[in-house]
């Protein structure tokens, strides 16, 4: 069974204090690892899809990396508007259309 574990559950940063969020996964035949941002009361906003170990993608202050067992979402010099819950999901070979989500990391960036 595909599984995703995210850590930490919650993270408080000062503005400008860089950090990383972790997503550990087990999956039968990775067909994609996904990062989303979710604000309270809103649907998840697509950030990245990574397909193979060694792949990296960047968007503004966010950079996602992927190994065979985990993915990191690096946040460089965060701003208060980066505060949100960040969700990680995997898509594997079994039940191949489904994304399996982790429980998310709630990020709070203080000014």
Partner 1 sequence: GAVVSQHPSRVICKSGTSVKIECRSLDFQATTMFWYRQFPKQSLMLMATSNEGSKATYEQGVEKDKFLINHASLTLSTLTVTSAHPEDSSFYICSARVQDRGSYEQYFGPGTRLTVT
The site for partner 1 (CB under 8 A) is made up of 31-32, 34, 36, 41-46, 49, 87, 91, 97-99, 101-104
- Pick 45 or 58: Cβ nearer partner 1: 45
Residues 40-70: b if buried by 16+ CB within 10 A, e if exposed: eeeebeebbbbeeeeeeeeeeebbbbbeeeb
- Pick 17 or 60: Cβ nearer partner 1: 60
Q: Do 25 and 2 touch, CB atoms closer than 8 A? A: yes
- Pick 13 or 99: Cβ nearer partner 1: 99
CB of 16 to partner 1, least distance (A): 27
């Amino acid at each position: 069974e595909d599984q995703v574990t995210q850590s930490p559950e919650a993270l408080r940063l000062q503005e400008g204090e860089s950090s990383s969020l972790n997503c550990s996964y087990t999956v039968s035949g990775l067909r994609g690892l996904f990062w989303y941002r979710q604000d309270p009361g809103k649907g998840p906003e697509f950030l990245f899809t990574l397909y193979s170990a060694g792949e990296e993608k960047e968007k503004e202050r966010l950079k996602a990396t992927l190994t065979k067992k985990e993915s990191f979402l690096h946040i460089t010099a965060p701003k208060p508007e980066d505060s949100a819950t960040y969700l990680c999901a995997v898509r594997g070979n079994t039940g191949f259309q489904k994304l399996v989500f982790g429980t998310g990391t709630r990020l709070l960036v203080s000014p």
